[in-house]
Amino acid sequence: MDDVFRALADPTRRNLLDELFRQDGQTLSALERRLPMTRFGVMKHLRLLEEAGLVVSRRRGREKLHFLNPVPIRLVHDRWVSKYAEPWAATLSELKHKLEEKTMEKVYEIYIKTTPERLWKAITDAEMRRKYNFGAVVTSDWTPGSRYEGVGGGTPIFEGENLEIDPPRRLVQSFRALWGEDVKSEGPSRVTWEIEPVGDSCRLTVTHDQLREDANAQLFGGWPMILSGLKTLLETGETLTTPGSLRFSQAPQDEGRRQGQGADQPTA
């Protein structure tokens, strides 16, 4: 318990715990980006939190993920918190349990012969995006915390918030599907676009995570067609007419709404 109090005494370590409470299972690099300190400093604080049992790390391939462990804090609660405060603590415990429910992620990678600036524009420009994203018109002011919306056939088909904006390298967005009741019930997930220059080309990695385990495949099934269409557009100027790629641009509003519930779905 002494180790717990020593770890909690430092505001930087409390900030790290806050970040893990907000989003569990983060890498060292992700945590480093959120704190105004060196990578070595973050590592030092994480080590002290692990020694106190407040953070647990697990390996996933080459990555080391960090998770908030509420057990030591619960022990403090059991020693000093009265029964009258128990409902409050129980609520937080339930929240932690929900955050730790199993989730899955999907990762897609493609090489495109273009510049980071052109690729960023293709992702954020409404007219360019429409040509490879199932005809959906995606609009936003592209600032951190701003909202974005995808409309097809006059009907909103997905929406979310721009969580991180770092042009022309990284875009992180929440994502909520709207094209059918079956996907609406899945709730929000997250999409991360990462652009890395490689010679005269770019490597684009799209990670769709925070998906419920066994989530409806419509949420992520459209990514291969979207990214193939994006590559074709930037490298040739042509539109790749894969099945369903022009669905919403060609269908009238009511038909677009009806078809939006089919198997070939738009994603982010």
pLDDT digits (tens, 9 = 90+) for 96-153: 655 566 778 888 889 999 999 999 999 999 999 999 998 899 999 999 999 999 998 8
Mean pLDDT of the chain: 83
Both tokens assigned to 136: 């959906």
Q: What is the pLDDT of residue 92?
A: 60
CA nearest neighbour of 25 among 94, 103, 106, 90: 103
pLDDT value of residue 197: 96
Q: CA torsion angle for 229, 194, 203, 135 (degrees, to 10)?
A: 10
pLDDT value at residue 188: 93
- Kind and range of the H or E element at 203? strand 201-212
Under-50 pLDDT residues of the chain? 251-264
- Which pLDDT value is given to residue 87? 62
DSSP H stretches of helix in the chain = 2-8, 11-22, 28-33, 39-51, 71-80, 86-99, 116-124, 126-132, 181-184, 223-236, 247-250, 253-259
Angle at 193 between CA 188 and CA 194, to 5 degrees: 145
CB 55 within 8 A of CB 69: yes
Alpha carbons 109 and 206: distance in angstroms, whole number: 6
- The torsion angles phi and psi of 239, rounded to 5 degrees, stand at -100, 125
Q: By three-state DSSP, how is residue 230 classified?
A: helix
CA distances from 92 to 49, 74, 84, 86, 240 (A): 20, 10, 15, 10, 48
Say how many Å lie between the first and final Cα of the chain, rounded: 46
- What confidence score (pLDDT) does residue 252 get? 44
- Supply the pLDDT for residue 256: 37
E strand or H helix at 196, and its extent? strand 189-198
- Give me the pLDDT at residue 247, please: 62
Contact 210, 103 (CB under 8 A): yes
Residue 258's pLDDT is 38
